[in-house]
Amino acid sequence: MTLEEQVKIVKTALEDKKAVDIKAYDVRGVSGFADAFVVATGTAAPHLKALVAGVQASMKEVDVDSYRTSGDPQSGWIVVDYVDIVVHVFSPEARAYYALEKLWKDAKPL
């Protein structure tokens, strides 16, 4: 399965759970620890939890398991690491504060 196909599965899962402002970046050459980052916003802690669960279920359907999941819905930031793809799910406040997209300004959108 290609990187682009995996990113599409992640984005679709996030869309299905009503994530806001979903962005995907090809960070090959920009980041040394992943090929793509997907960033999305949820509206509240339960929504963040549902977004992550939706991504994990969709990826599991295609036999892709996460390497690690970090964060907590109450903290406003959950990271799901699929090695090639890292998914960041934020509360609106945490996304604005950390502004990860600024770190990848040279990355190509997917």
Which structure tokens are listed for 23? 């962005």
Determine how β-strand 20-26 pairs with β-strand 36-41. Answer: antiparallel
Q: Is the pTM of this model over 0.85?
A: yes
Taking the CA atoms of the chain, what radius of gyration do you get in angstroms?
13
Q: Could you give all domains of the chain from N- to C-terminal order, each with its CATH number?
A: 3-97 (3.30.460.10)
Q: What is the pLDDT of residues 13-70, one digit of tens each?
A: 999 999 999 999 999 888 778 999 999 999 999 999 999 999 999 999 999 999 999 9
Those residues whose C-beta lies under 8 Å from the C-beta of residue 61, and which sit 6 or more positions away, are none
Q: Measured in whole angstroms, how far is the alpha carbon of residue 76 from the centre of its chain?
A: 13
pLDDT of 95 > 90? The answer is yes
